[in-house]
């Protein structure tokens, strides 16, 4: 079979690329090795609970999400914007002062934020809020160095920012790019993240429906085993099926698998582990994401999903997630003990529904920040994915679109994509 473009991998990047190409009138075949689209964004229904494959959230402030995702259709269930911090003697809540003004007194009384901290935070985050482009193009350093330079220290750093960003960046040493971290925190300041009513998997499902409507063929359970280029053509071998011939191939298989098909260095990745629990009776009262400022155990964040997204649990039940770094040895006993300390409830009767170990959750994002790697890596051969742009939903979508535009330019298609801004 011959088509214009074969896209390998139906994660967010591959789905966005296939949609753009099909909307431009090209014949596109999308190959997905697993049993459904979505890649790292999948949701399973387990005993009436919705379990994402690893806790993650969707920020509607991401420009790529605003542009290419039908957010009303996903019915986002947003979390309150703030964080609950377990301190040595008590728990305190910090809320976004503009979104939850009633939380300001508690924030001021928390003992975590002094006027000096507010000034340091403004020095660190201000440029990203006001002129994000200068953060992208300016000098970069590690996050730890960025905090040192701007004077972020004390409890705000050790009990709030470090534990919170450990979960977001999937690393505990603040060695990620300072610019990347600031741009991410900017998004938290601007958006109210949440989860789609039917789980994170609803996002790629929506993108796949758009790709299908635009005319892209999507083959599930179709693993590409080899990409063969010659001067005149490019072929993709498919496990157990006929090879596909194309004018161009986009490899969008995720950071751990790209090196199996094309000759690029394997990007460093970071792993996360999520534990899903169903409390027996009344769950912890707070709907805020909680971190452990004492760092007394493997958990980097935990939240009662069903307070903000009741659809994640059957009627009358609740769902709690607890996330750890995969690199940390976490026993179930450790997790239950720390959860009990964070939420101040007895977690021994909680039912463990599932544990997700995601070895390649996020590509590392070292300093200096590199926002885009080349779209093309060989004759007729392109590569897309979050590891080529930035480690996020935003990065994956932008990458897919950017690479599709490069293919369109090279194949000489001039027809504008339907509905694209
Ligand atoms: C636990 C966790 C938490 C996260 N939290 C957040 C968050 O809160 N916010 C955020 O913005 N991002 C988050 N992310 C990151 C986000 O999910 C990813 O950046 C994004 O989904 C990556 O999409 P992708 O298309 O680049 O790659 P992938 O999703 O990895 O897609 C690659 C696809 O290629 C397929 N494939 C692989 N090999 C082959 C082959 N040989 N043939 C055919 N198909 C193949 C795979 O099955 C997969 O479907 C998180 C990720 C994880 C795992």
State how far the Cα of 390 lies from the Cα of 395, in Å rounded to an integer.
4
**Residue range 390-417: mean pLDDT, rounded:** 88
| Nearest ligand 1 atom to alpha carbon 395 | 19
State how far the Cα of 242 lies from the Cα of 60, in Å rounded to an integer.
40
pLDDT surpassing 90 at residue 412: no
Q: Are the C-beta atoms of 283 and 318 separated by less than 8 Å?
A: yes
**Residue range 43-66: mean pLDDT, rounded:** 97
State how far the Cα of 191 lies from the Cα of 186, in Å rounded to an integer.
9
| Nearest ligand 1 atom to alpha carbon 53 | 1
DSSP states of 307-372 as a string?
HH-GGGS-TT---EEEEEETTS---HHHHHHHHHHHHTS--TTPEEEEEEEEEEEEE--BSSP---
Q: Which of 28, 33, 29, 38 is nearest to 58 (CA)?
A: 38
CA 300 distance to own-chain centroid: 16
Q: How far is the CA of 361 from the centre of ligand 1 (A)?
A: 7
| Nearest ligand 1 atom to alpha carbon 387 | 26
Instruction: Give the per-residue pLDDT at 253.
Output: 98
Residue 370's pLDDT band (boundaries 50, 70, 90)?
Answer: confident
Task: Name residue 245's beta-bridge partners.
Answer: 2, 235
Residue 419's pLDDT band (boundaries 50, 70, 90)?
Answer: very low
Q: Are the C-beta atoms of 45 and 313 separated by less than 8 Å?
A: no
Residue 153's pLDDT band (boundaries 50, 70, 90)?
Answer: very high
Q: How far is the CA of 41 from the centre of ligand 1 (A)?
A: 6
| Nearest ligand 1 atom to alpha carbon 14 | 25
- How much is the pTM? 0.95
How many degrees, rounded to 5, is the angle at CA 384 between CA 386 and CA 204? Answer: 65
Query: Ligand 1 pocket test: which of 56, 192, 221, 276 has the largest number of ligand atoms within 8 Å of its C-beta?
Result: 56
State how far the Cα of 123 lies from the Cα of 128, in Å rounded to an integer.
10
Nearest CA to ligand 1 atom 17: 40
Q: What is the CA radius of gyration of the chain?
A: 22
Give the tens place of pLDDT for each residue, 1-27: 889 999 999 999 999 999 999 999 999
Instruction: Give the per-residue pLDDT at 282.
Output: 79
Least confident of 92-106, 242-256, 374-388: 92-106
Helix or strand (DSSP H, E) at 128: helix 115-130
**Residue range 84-105: mean pLDDT, rounded:** 80
**Residues in contact with 317: Cβ distance below 8 Å, sequence separation at least 6, in sequence order:** 48, 49, 278, 306
Instruction: Give the per-residue pLDDT at 420.
Output: 46
Instruction: Give the per-residue pLDDT at 421.
Output: 38
Query: Ligand 1 pocket test: which of 6, 10, 11 has the largest number of ligand atoms within 8 Å of its C-beta?
Result: 11
**Residue range 143-152: mean pLDDT, rounded:** 97
State how far the Cα of 255 lies from the Cα of 384, in Å rounded to an integer.
10
pLDDT surpassing 90 at residue 230: no
């Amino acid at each position: 079979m011959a088509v214009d473009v074969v896209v390998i991998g139906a994660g967010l990047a591959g789905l966005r690329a296939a949609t753009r190409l099909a909307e431009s009138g090209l014949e596109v075949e999308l190959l997905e090795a697993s049993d459904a689209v979505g890649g790292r964004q999948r949701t399973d229904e387990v005993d009436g609970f919705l379990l994402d494959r690893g806790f993650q959230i969707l920020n509607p402030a991401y420009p790529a999400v605003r542009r290419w995702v039908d957010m009303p259709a996903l019915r986002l269930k947003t979390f309150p914007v703030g964080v609950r911090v377990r301190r040595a003697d008590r728990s305190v809540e910090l809320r976004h002062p503009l979104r939850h003004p009633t939380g300001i007194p508690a924030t001021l009384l928390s003992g975590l934020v002094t006027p000096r901290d507010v000034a340091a935070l403004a020095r660190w985050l201000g440029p990203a809020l006001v002129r994000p482009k200068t953060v992208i193009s300016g000098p970069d350093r590690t996050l730890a160095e960025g905090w040192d330079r701007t004077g972020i220290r004390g409890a705000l750093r050790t009990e709030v920012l470090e534990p919170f960003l450990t979960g977001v960046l999937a690393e505990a040493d603040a060695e990620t790019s300072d610019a990347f971290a600031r741009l991410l925190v900017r998004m938290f300041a601007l958006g109210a993240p949440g989860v789609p009513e039917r789980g994170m998997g609803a996002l790629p499902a929506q993108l796949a429906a758009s790709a299908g409507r635009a005319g892209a063929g999507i083959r599930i359970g179709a693993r590409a085993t080899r990409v063969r280029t010659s001067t005149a053509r490019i072929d993709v071998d498919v496990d157990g099926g006929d090879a596909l011939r194309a004018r161009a191939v986009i490899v969008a298989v995720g950071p751990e698998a790209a090196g199996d098909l094309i000759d690029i260095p394997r990007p460093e990745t970071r792993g996360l582990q999520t534990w899903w629990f169903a409390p027996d009776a009344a769950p912890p009262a707070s709907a805020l994401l909680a971190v452990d400022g004492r760092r007394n155990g493997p958990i980097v964040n935990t939240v009662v999903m069903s307070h903000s997204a009741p659809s994640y649990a059957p009627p009358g039940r609740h769902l709690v997630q607890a996330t750890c770094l995969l690199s940390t040895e976490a026993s179930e006993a450790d997790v239950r003990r720390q959860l009990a300390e964070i939420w101040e409830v007895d977690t021994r009767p909680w039912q463990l529904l599932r544990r997700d170990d995601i070895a390649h959750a996020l590509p590392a994002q070292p300093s200096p920040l590199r926002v885009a790697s080349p779209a093309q890596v060989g004759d007729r051969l392109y590569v897309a994915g979050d590891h080529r742009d930035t480690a996020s939903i935003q990065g994956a979508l932008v990458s897919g679109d950017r690479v599709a535009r490069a293919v369109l330019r090279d194949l000489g298609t001039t027809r504008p994509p339907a509905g694209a801004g």
